[in-house]
Chain A
Amino acid sequence: MTSVEVKNLTKEFHIRNGMKRSTLTAVDRVSFDLLPGRTVALVGESGSGKSTIARMLARLEKPTSGSIDVTLDDRTPVHGSVYRRHVQMVFQDPFASLNPFHSIEHHVARPLKIHRRTRGAAETHERVVHMLERVNLSPAEDIAARRPHELSGGQRQRVAIARALAPGAQVLIADEPVSMLDVSIRLGVLNLMARLQREDNLAVLYITHDLATARHFSDEILVLYRGRVVERGPADSVILNPQHDYTKLLAASAPDPERMGKLVRAAGAPDRSGIDNSVSFNHYTGEWTSLDKRPVPVS
């Protein structure tokens, strides 16, 4: 089993804007641990540095400072080319993360070959089919021969998950894995990841801006704001009892179908849109507002 210890991870980008040079601290002294069988959720608005953390963990970006230590059960460190066998990543956009030129088989077979998980073409093909079946892609033989544009978004993201697990990864970084998918299939993909995590005892970093799924699928939540962790703790307590103003804002702005329905009914919410175009209904707060964003009393 593999664990990851992230300490004071910092990433600065140097931006050259004409003559001016400036430094952007995208990630500022972030620390957390990823343990087998547990999920840490990283929550934050767009641009808060979530993907940068994921990319540093996947060794696509070098940290400016801080450390990422990956160790096995007996505390022996993992580094060099073995690192990629242990730590794998699922990207946000399944339409961009598969090469349009290659077949699905290529995508899953390459990590198997690179990390010498299989010997010979027959065994590799067999394992590819097995991996595709594990992520509920069937008929696997048929899917393996297809190319990415012949699959739906959800199917592609399953292929991406199969590719990530192919080298035998123990640590999975999922960067907003369902945010580009249709709402109706998000839960299916998340449940699949949860099942694979149980089966393989994976350590998972689940990056999202959706507090509801963060609460449901993770043990610990870290709230990221402009590169800094502003709040952290067990999932339930962070959501139900947010301390930091930013977390409160996030929690309040998360669409909660139950609460919204009640508010709408309580207010009587007459449909005024047909009569009067100058008001609109805010589904998050359950209020009617005028064009200049002032609340409008419900008659």
Chain B
Amino acid sequence: MTNLTPTTEPSVADADEALAATAREEGRKPRAGWRAMLPSMTPSLVIGFGIVAAIVLFGLLGPLFVQDPTTVRNSGLQPPGGGHLLGTTQTGQDVLAQLAFATRGSLEIGLIVGVLATLLSAFFGVLGAYLGGFADEAFSLFSNVMLVIPGLPLVIVISGFVPQEQRGLWTIAVVLAITGWAASARVLRAQTLSLRNRDYVAASRVAGERSWRVIAVEILPNLLPVIASQFVFAVIFAILSEAGLAFLGLGASNSSTLGTMLFYAQNGFALQLKAWWWFVPPGLIIALLGCGLSLINFSIDEIINPKLRNVRAHAKRMRIARKAAAR
């Protein structure tokens, strides 16, 4: 207590000042709220984003350039080469063409389920937590019940229950959204509970903001990284679950997805006939898509988890502080 040694290491508080000062000197425009929400460029984000962008482009544009995926030819089970870049199926259909349409189908499912599940989880998670009391109890009981119901068996039961003719893309998407939102709702609830007790929420109520505005303008933007990460997670969940369902023959009847491709490959004895070009491409795209989306999610995690973010932010501040001290 009695002897104070002057600190030689520049403090972070100094760095804050220095950071603000350099920002002022350089006349930089202050970063808007939205920009600070974006994950910083890390190798994992760049790789993940690259993989996902390539697959999305393939799903979007591929079907425009390939042959008709349904045309049946006499030349069945041809290995890659010749007129067919990725060979043909047992019935002589072009694998590349099928792959393009299947990728598009899987992405559609992923997107629809991602949006639906995110809306459901935001509704039950955020609203319940903000309102508190009975609404919170009821909403969280409901999401807990949905959480403990085992997802895949329920999906199988529901999909099996719906007659095949009516089992379209949307039916499958809705079923997957209903079984997939609960975990996200719990994450969002926990985050909202912590946000709604922040002083700035109280301050906005003191200022006279209405409840819906407090939720939409003061709380929701701060939840965006969490919501984005839950969305990406829901997309992964949907694409993988749909592939599983389709492989079991319970997929959408009116559209082709990577899962249905695998289903037909399995039924056509692709493995036994060593027709690797038939089942490896769809399997690879599923794996790459899951991998790329997960990499994106890791980068979003960095925004949410202050511990991860601070490691890099701190390194930056210390650099600036040392520079300022050296001047």
Residues of A within 8 A of B (CB): 55, 58-60, 81, 84-85, 88-89, 91-93, 96-103, 110-111, 114-115, 142, 145-147, 150-152, 160, 163, 167, 271, 273-274, 280-281, 283
**A152 and B17 contact, CB distance less than 8 A:** yes
**B199 and A93 contact, CB distance less than 8 A:** yes
Contact bitstring B1-41, A, C-beta under 8 A = 1, else 0: 11100000000000011001001100001111100110000
**Which residues of chain A are near B157, meaning CB under 8 Å?**
none
Q: How long is the Cα–Cα vector from A163 to B205 in the complex, in angstroms?
A: 12
**Which residues of chain B are near A163, meaning CB under 8 Å?**
203, 207
**Which residues of chain B are near A283, meaning CB under 8 Å?**
1
**Which residues of chain A are near B204, meaning CB under 8 Å?**
99, 110
Residue of B nearest to A144 (CB): B30
**Which residues of chain A are near B23, meaning CB under 8 Å?**
150
**Which residues of chain B are near A84, meaning CB under 8 Å?**
206-208
**A150 and B30 contact, CB distance less than 8 A:** yes
**What number of residue pairs across chains A and B have CB atoms under 8 A from each other?**
91
Dominant secondary structure at the A interface: loop
**Which residues of chain B are near A58, meaning CB under 8 Å?**
202, 206
**B30 and A145 contact, CB distance less than 8 A:** yes
B170 part of interface (Cβ distance < 8 Å) = no
Residue of A nearest to B221 (CB): A101
**Which residues of chain B are near A102, meaning CB under 8 Å?**
33, 218, 221
**B30 and A273 contact, CB distance less than 8 A:** no
- Most chain A CB atoms below 10 A, which of B29, B205, B206: B206
**B208 and A103 contact, CB distance less than 8 A:** no
Q: How far is the CB of B246 from chain A (nearest CB, A)?
A: 41
Residue of A nearest to B37 (CB): A101
**A152 and B20 contact, CB distance less than 8 A:** yes
**Which residues of chain A are near B1, meaning CB under 8 Å?**
273, 280-281, 283
User: Given contacts A147-B30, A271-B2, A281-B1, is CB(A99)–CB(B200) below 8 Å?
Assistant: yes
- Most chain A CB atoms below 10 A, which of B31, B208, B221: B208
In chain B, residues 182-208, which have Cβ atoms closer than 8 Å to a Cβ of chain A?
198-200, 202-208
User: Given contacts A96-B198, A150-B23, is CB(A273)–CB(B33) below 8 Å?
Assistant: no
Q: How long is the Cα–Cα vector from A275 to B24 in the complex, in angstroms?
A: 49
B171 part of interface (Cβ distance < 8 Å) = no
B209 part of interface (Cβ distance < 8 Å) = yes
**B203 and A147 contact, CB distance less than 8 A:** no
User: Given contacts A89-B206, A167-B208, A271-B2, is CB(A150)–CB(B33) below 8 Å?
Assistant: no
Q: How long is the Cα–Cα vector from A97 to B205 in the complex, in angstroms?
A: 12
**A99 and B218 contact, CB distance less than 8 A:** yes
User: Given contacts A84-B208, A145-B30, A150-B30, is CB(A100)–CB(B203) below 8 Å?
Assistant: no
Residue of B nearest to A282 (CB): B1
**A114 and B33 contact, CB distance less than 8 A:** no
Q: How long is the Cα–Cα vector from A60 to B20 in the complex, in angstroms?
A: 34
Q: How far is the CB of B134 from chain A (nearest CB, A)?
A: 15
**A91 and B2 contact, CB distance less than 8 A:** no
Q: How far is the CB of B19 from chain A (nearest CB, A)?
A: 8
Residue of A nearest to B198 (CB): A96
**Which residues of chain A are near B199, meaning CB under 8 Å?**
91-93, 96-97
B200 partner, pick from A55, A89, A97, beta carbons under 8 A: A97
Q: How far is the CB of A203 from chain B (nearest CB, A)?
A: 16
Q: Which 4 A-B pairs have the closest CB atoms?
A: A97-B199, A96-B199, A84-B208, A273-B2
Q: How far is the CB of B254 from chain A (nearest CB, A)?
A: 43
**B33 and A103 contact, CB distance less than 8 A:** yes
B207 partner, pick from A92, A114, A142, A152, beta carbons under 8 A: A114
23 contacts between A and B (CB under 8 A): A55-B202, A58-B202, A59-B206, A85-B208, A88-B207, A89-B203, A89-B206, A93-B199, A96-B199, A97-B200, A97-B203, A99-B222, A100-B200, A101-B37, A103-B32, A110-B204, A111-B208, A146-B30, A147-B36, A163-B203, A163-B207, A271-B2, A283-B1
